[in-house]
Structure 1
Amino acid sequence: MDRDSPILIIGSGTFGISTAYHLAKRGYSNITCIDKHPYPSIDSAGFDLNKIIRTEYDEPLYAKMALEAIEAWRDPFWDGIFHETGWLVTTSGDPAAAKHLRQSYENLVKNGHTSGIEFVETPEDLIRHVPQLKNSRDLSTWKGLWNKHAGWAHAHDAMKKLGEEVNRALICEQAQALGVQFVSGLDGTMTGLEILDGKLVGIKVASGKVVISAQYILCAGAASPSLLPELSNQLWSKCWTLAHIELTEKELAEYRNMPVVDNHELGFFFEPDPKTRWLKICNATQGYQWKTAVNAEGKSYSVPRYPSDHPEDGIPEEARVDVNKFIDTILPQFSGRPLKGARICWCTDTPDQHFLITRHQKYPELLLGTGDSGHGFKFLPTIGSYIADALEGKERGVRSEWAWREKEWKSDPTRPGDVVKDLRDVGIGA
């Protein structure tokens, strides 16, 4: 492929920015990245205070990719953004979650990465690894995995830094800027495909223009099925809930460098942000949908109801109750504190939690780079290299696991429950 040919990336979130970066590093000089919002897109799942960076996977492909990604996060480029605090992932007794953890450990064994990893089965061991759990009310049923080689990244700052690098960085010793143009607003808001004689000839945007390119890459995350309804059989857009509590300076010092703690049945929380003193908590759930769109077959499907368009939404009352239950159980010294910045975060699942990185079935000029399935952010430094490989037709990026597929929807053992409620049924978007 000619390095000067135009490439259009739709979406400036995790996959989009990473793809722009890796294509530019390979010498592609005519890249445009469009999004409704300036980079990093506020609608992206990665536009967040923090995200977990971990290596445990029961799927060998992602275990290997996660080990590659954490090595990339350790680069000095990410100093101050990636925090290798370790993490503790547990279950209070769910058999599927326990099996998932065991298989994840075995995959690390196969890849020769067991140093700093151990199973923990007693409250004493849990508190030894995470002293901040000393006030928790009941850890007697918790069992899980401690991984020293994990932690978290400041998600928004990470995407912003990589986007800025795309805009201004130098490649090696050459004074060659990484040439990517970011376009937002009406000119950056995709509304559909421009098709002529059955061929894709451009991307329609909200300003009424048609953006023409040689190659197109859709990295629109949860918005993907709303932009291309034919993806509604491949992708399921869902949202999860999060909230924060504000700590004092003294409490901030106590919780600094704390490992990430994740319990399958209750949720997870992070080291507080030193700038805001906010400690983020996510309750455990199968997620929510907003099933308001209809595809060509007449089937309704879920599309995002973004907080950027509906800042009044907040989170469902039942989620607020769950977050407070988490606090009362794990952090009882903070019970009763007001929840701050409570909102929903949208991702898009595939039937088997594999990404969707493949050519569109009808329009080969359009490459799909989506289907994060709630575990994509940790690959920010590396996922764009796989999408770039797919664009170039290289085996590393063209994988059967990431192909357009007709598969049965499976439950995710890392998420409790088996019901995905509609937001309208819990008081939002009715």
Structure 2
Amino acid sequence: MEFEKSILIIGNGTFGISTAFHLAKRGYLNITCIDKHSYPSIDSAGYDLNKIIRTEYDEPLYAEMALEAIQAWRDPLFKDVFHETGWLVTTCGEPEASEHLRQSYENLKNSNGISGIEFVETPEDLIRHVPQLKHAQDLSTWKGLWNKQAGWAHAHDAMKVLGDEAKKLGVKFISGPDGTMTNLQVSDGKLAGINVASGKTHTADQYILCTGANSPALLPELGHHLWSKCWTLAHIELTEEEAAEYKNMPVVDNHELGFFFEPDAKSRWIKICNATQGYQFRTGVGPDGKSYSVPRYASDHPEEGIPKEAEDAIRKFIDNLLPQFSGRPLLGAAICWCTDSADSHWLISRHDKYPELLLATGDSGHGFKFLPTIGSYIADALEGKEKGVKKEWQLRDRPWKRDVTRPGDVVKDLRDVGMGVREMPAQNCKSET
């Protein structure tokens, strides 16, 4: 029977956990997830304190999917991890970012999703929606969108919730050397299994690769389709009185500076992410001799922090928006890895040589908000259903273009900028937008 076929999912991150959950809900009885780490994987972009949940997209496909996803976030399953605080997304006037916001609004309007959304163009309007911005140095050039139907999710806990549900439904999770994929086992030109660090080979009827930024390292043939990049973050700690002022604050995002969230209820840490095109680590070499970027995970280099220039950018953010906290220590500074496709569309497609292998990667920095729903699309792709087999997601050569939601046009290499020393263990990744 179809539901008795074995399925092996590689990766315990956003795509992998969601896919396992949705396949199990459909009645599949033999699902196994493997990863170097137990779920949620510490190397996953979703292993995070908080991530933005929003609906604005200049691409109609994702605008509709985001409206669907936010409804799913309201399910009681996520009542303790989803916080619909609203968010304010702005620019200081960068033309492409301004056009992106205008087009995003139009897409929501066309999908009847603009309830609670309005343009904001004056400091008074900004502060009306986010009173905590009264401390900011200068908001005179800020313009953007206020979205009431948005907020943030406790990312690590949300993935843990969904992983636990998948486990209850019979999904098996394997970690450690037995779960650490090293390469494909190929015999007579056919995929015969997944080799792991312990020396074992896992076999299944169907395989799904959900390995995010590590995808090009595991399958070098993807090196020219995907570009693995990392972003930087740090935290400041508030007193109990300060934390009370920022409690339930909407997410604030500025295209040129970065974004921040309300403080964590337990640690009283505010997480701050500076705005950047990201960093690469171009040390992989493909079959064609060309280099590609591979992740330098914090789990393998726990002593490393973030580049000095990123620390300076985060301090600039604090000086502008949170000046009363200027000079405070930056805690838990870390890098977090995602992988971009050329056009920011995901890669959800059968491998061109091995039809038993479904690729589900290329998050392009906007995957986590779909945690409750993305697995249903990947499950449909596995089953060959129209909803999951979209032309935008197919494995093909795509022209590379710049993501206008990220400022600048240069992606520096970590080897050129250097890594700082981590003062405290990092718990979080950069929140996606």
**SS across alignment from 1:407:** coil
Q: Determine the structure 2 residue equivalent to 1:359.
A: 350
**SS across alignment from 1:85:** coil
Distance (Å, rounded) in 2 between the aligned partners of 1:107 and 1:228: 35
Distance (Å, rounded) in 2 between the aligned partners of 1:257 and 1:134: 16
The offset of 1:407, in angstroms, is 1.4
**SS across alignment from 1:134:** helix
The offset of 1:311, in angstroms, is 1.1
**SS across alignment from 1:7:** strand
Q: Determine the structure 2 residue equivalent to 1:8.
A: 8
Is residue 294 of structure 2 the alignment partner of residue 303 of structure 1? yes
Conserved 8 A contact 2:118-2:147 = yes
Q: Determine the structure 1 residue equivalent to 2:202.
A: 211
Q: Determine the structure 2 residue equivalent to 1:337.
A: 328
Distance (Å, rounded) in 2 between the aligned partners of 1:233 and 1:27: 36
Q: Determine the structure 1 residue equivalent to 2:27.
A: 27
Distance (Å, rounded) in 2 between the aligned partners of 1:80 and 1:249: 21
The offset of 1:252, in angstroms, is 1.1
Query: Aligned to 2:184, which of 185, 193, 201?
Result: 193
**SS across alignment from 2:333:** strand
Distance (Å, rounded) in 1 between the aligned partners of 2:278 and 2:355: 33
Query: Aligned to 1:229, which of 216, 220, 229?
Result: 220
The aligned runs of 1:244-263 (5 Å cut-off) are 244-263=235-254
**Scaled by the length of structure 1, what TM-score is found?**
0.97
Distance (Å, rounded) in 2 between the aligned partners of 1:167 and 1:204: 23
Q: Determine the structure 2 residue equivalent to 1:108.
A: 108
Distance (Å, rounded) in 1 between the aligned partners of 2:213 and 2:122: 39
Distance (Å, rounded) in 2 between the aligned partners of 1:325 and 1:179: 48
Is residue 413 of structure 2 the alignment partner of residue 396 of structure 1? no
**SS across alignment from 1:22:** helix
Q: Determine the structure 1 residue equivalent to 2:429.
A: none
Q: Determine the structure 2 residue equivalent to 1:174.
A: none
Distance (Å, rounded) in 1 between the aligned partners of 2:240 and 2:165: 33
Is residue 222 of structure 2 the alignment partner of residue 264 of structure 1? no
User: Which residue identity is paired with 1:136?
Assistant: A
Q: Determine the structure 1 residue equivalent to 2:48.
A: 48
The offset of 1:294, in angstroms, is 0.2
Is residue 273 of structure 2 the alignment partner of residue 282 of structure 1? yes
Q: Determine the structure 2 residue equivalent to 1:148.
A: 148
Conserved 8 A contact 2:308-2:419 = no
Q: Determine the structure 2 residue equivalent to 1:36.
A: 36
**SS across alignment from 2:354:** coil
Distance (Å, rounded) in 2 between the aligned partners of 1:103 and 1:235: 26
Conserved 8 A contact 2:285-2:291 = yes
Is residue 359 of structure 2 the alignment partner of residue 384 of structure 1? no
Q: Determine the structure 2 residue equivalent to 1:161.
A: 161
User: Which residue identity is paired with 1:96?
Assistant: E
Segments ≥4 residues shifted beyond 6 Å: none
Distance (Å, rounded) in 1 between the aligned partners of 2:419 and 2:48: 21
Give the count of matched residue pairs. Answer: 420
Is residue 129 of structure 2 the alignment partner of residue 139 of structure 1? no
Distance (Å, rounded) in 2 between the aligned partners of 1:257 and 1:211: 46
Q: Determine the structure 1 residue equivalent to 2:426.
A: none
The offset of 1:428, in angstroms, is 3.1
The offset of 1:5, in angstroms, is 1.0
The offset of 1:251, in angstroms, is 1.1
Distance (Å, rounded) in 2 between the aligned partners of 1:422 and 1:113: 39
Q: Deviations over 1:143-171 (max 9, x none)?
A: 00000000000000000111111112xxx
Q: Determine the structure 2 residue equivalent to 1:126.
A: 126
**SS across alignment from 2:419:** coil
Is residue 420 of structure 2 the alignment partner of residue 410 of structure 1? no
User: Which residue identity is paired with 2:230?
Assistant: C
User: Which residue identity is paired with 1:109?
Assistant: K
RMSD: 0.8
The offset of 1:233, in angstroms, is 1.1
Distance (Å, rounded) in 2 between the aligned partners of 1:338 and 1:356: 39
Aligned-residue sequence identity (percent) comes to 76
Distance (Å, rounded) in 1 between the aligned partners of 2:257 and 2:177: 41
